Amino acid sequence: MDFNDTPEEAAFRAEVRAFLDANAKLKSEAQPATRRRYISDRDELTRAKLWQAKKAEAGFARITWPKRWGGRDGSAIQQVIYNEEEARYLVPGGVFSIGLGMCIPTMMGYCDEATLQRYVPPALKGEEIWCQLFSEPAGGSDLAGLRTRAERDGEDWVINGQKIWTSGAHYSDYGILITRTDPRAKKHAGLTMFFLSMKSPGVEVRPIKQISGTSNFNEVFFTDVRIPDSQRIGKVGDGWKVSLTTLMNERLAVGDAPGPDAEDILELVRTLELEDGPAIRNAAVRERLADWYVKSQGLKYTKFRTMTALSRGQTPGPESSITKAVSASKLQEIGSFGMDLLGMAGGIMDTELAPMQAWFQEALLMAPGLRIAGGTDEILRNIIAERVLGLPGDIRVDKDVPFNEIPSGRS
């Protein structure tokens, strides 16, 4: 065992570093990074587009894509290496991952050459941003329970309904949209996928305020929105199959719950004085610190094992579900415990008064969402039980029934 690159990996890493050194600042050389990573600033979007253009030009925008689409026919481990290296630099992140990681790959599987020629290059260069319009108020964990209707009208489809939990809908140019085209068919059979411009008449985007005060998600309302049939992805009624491409990519993308970890508790307790002495000397503090450290390290080295599999050309399985299953609720307990250590002042959130810029308090408010978004604690455990351990699926009462006859709890 070692943590070294193969010669090919090392060469690639050097190439990546040369690109990054020439185009970005190392975090360690920049201003000390703020802890409050939960909140992004307003210019982030502009900076993100510029950065994406540079990456695309250098062929790093989507390493595993074919060269004809601006990729480099690279391997998964090369993408991981790029991500590792990029993480050390101060670069704007995130807004293209849904489009390039989920939407465009789905289109590549189903759309014609002309369509791809139109949409893939601008997406890759960051000129156009995509979002994924899947979840609905009636279909969260049960995604296929969606009710947004698409009805045929001549060469168009007319969309009515509502999506929710759409990341980036407010700054997106396009979206892929799953709809119900036949409510009399079985649940998974009556669905059809489209793409559309987010500027289409009848599309209304409303940000959702979370309990943390931030708005990472939106509601999107559709009122008589017209989509030409040429923007259908896959066959009518094949929407569920098409969506699986997207969702498989999503599961792999779900990662660590960002926020304070064992190392941050250590930083806090190294200086904090409790009533009976330094917090770091308190046995209860030490036990918890050890427990959380061991979990974080366990996740870290589980990722290393996954990377090794990638490096050896294997495809990692649903094992990566454990990361969020562990880290989101750990974050909640760390936030809570960090506050408990501050005693009666633990609730203060003024960043100049609360230790470590109220990092623990922010975490307490952010963690509930992280335990839910991208797969709840419960769904992740179902995935592990079924797909890793091979245990049976839950009993389904909604499989063989026309969708409009499935009990929905609505009176």
Partner 1 sequence: MNFDFSDDLKLLRDQTRKFLREHSPTKSARRILDGEAPYDAALWRRVAELGWLGAAIPEEYGGIGLGYEGLCVLAEELGMAVSPIPFSSSIYLAAEAILAAGSEAQKQAYLPKLAAGERIACFALAEGPGNPNPTRIMATVEGGKLSGVKLPVADGGIADMAVVAARSEGKVGLFLVELATPGVTRETLKTIDPSRDHAKLGFDQVPAEPLGPADGWPIVRRVLDRAAILFAFEQVGGAGACLDMARNYALERHAFGRPIGSFQAIKHKLADVYIATELARSNAYYGAWALASDAAELPLAAAAARVSAIEAFHLAAKENIQTHGGMGFTWAFDCHLYYRRAKQLALAIGSAPYWKDRLVDELERRNER
User: Could you say which of partner 1, a second copy, none residue 18 binds, taking C-beta under 5 to 8 angstroms by partner kind?
Assistant: none
| Cβ closest to partner 1, residue 100 vs residue 380 | 380
With respect to a second copy, which residue has the nearer C-beta, 32 or 392?
392
Half-sphere exposure for 122 (CA within 13 Å, toward CB): 12
Rule CB under 8 A: say whether 339 interacts with a second copy.
no
| 29 catalytic residue (yes or no) | no
Catalytic residue among 9, 15, 219, 250: 250
Range 370-399, binding a second copy (CB under 8 A): 395, 397
Which class for 183: exposed (0-12), middle (13-18), buried (19 or more C-beta within 10 A)?
Answer: middle
Give the nearest distance from C-beta 348 to a second copy in angstroms: 24
Give, to the nearest 10 degrees, the angle between helix 321-341 and helix 359-370.
150
Residue 70 CB, shortest distance to partner 1, in Å, is 26
Phi, psi of 150 (to 5 degrees): -120, 120
What three-state secondary structure class fits 340? helix
Q: Closest separation between CB of residue 407 and a second copy, Å? A: 11
Q: Which helix (H) or strand (E) segment is 153 a member of?
A: strand 149-153
Helix axes 283-311, 262-271, angle to 10 degrees: 150
Task: Report the partner that residue 407 touches, choosing among a second copy, partner 1, none (CB closer than 5 to 8 A by kind).
Answer: partner 1
Binding mask 132-171 for a second copy (x = CB under 8 A): ----------------------------------------
From the CB of 197, what's the least distance to a second copy, in Å?
Answer: 43
If contact means CB under 5 to 8 A according to the sort of partner, which of a second copy, partner 1, none does residue 347 touch? partner 1
**Inter-CA distances, 104 with 128, 135, 185, 195, 375, Å:** 11, 18, 28, 10, 22
Size of residue set near a second copy by CB under 8 A: 8
Comparison of 200 and 382: residue with beta carbon closer to a second copy: 382
Q: Which does residue 141 touch among partner 1, a second copy, none (CB within 5 to 8 A, set by kind)?
A: partner 1
Q: 246 near 103, Cβ under 8 Å?
A: yes
Report in angstroms how near the CB of residue 283 gets to a second copy at its nearest: 4
**Cα four-point dihedral sign 46, 51, 57, 61:** negative
Residue 135 near residue 243 (C-beta atoms within 8 A): no
Packing angle of the helix pair 283-311, 321-341 (nearest 10 deg): 160
Angle formed at CA 171 by CA 237 and CA 191, multiple of 5 degrees: 5
User: What is the closest distance, in whole angstroms, from the C-beta atom of residue 120 to partner 1 in the complex?
Assistant: 30
The b/e string for 44-55 (b: 16+ C-beta within 10 A; e otherwise) is ebeebbebbebb
* Closest to a second copy by CB, 275 or 352: 275
Of 107 and 341, which CB lies nearer to a second copy in the complex structure? 341
For residues 22 and 283, which CB has a smaller minimum distance to partner 1 in the complex? 283
Minimum distance from CB of 401 to partner 1 (Å)? 7
User: Which one-letter DSSP state was computed for residue 139?
Assistant: B
Residue 131 · residue 99 · CB < 8 Å: yes
Identify which of residues 135 and 192 has a Cβ nearer to partner 1 in the complex.
135
Alpha-carbon span 162 to 138, nearest angstrom: 9
Token pair recorded at residue 23: 């185009």
271: CB partners within 8 A, 6+ apart: none
* Residues numbered 267-326 forming contacts with a second copy, rule: CB under 8 A: 282-287
Catalytic residues: 250
Give the footprint of a second copy on this chain (CB under 8 A).
Answer: 282-287, 395, 397
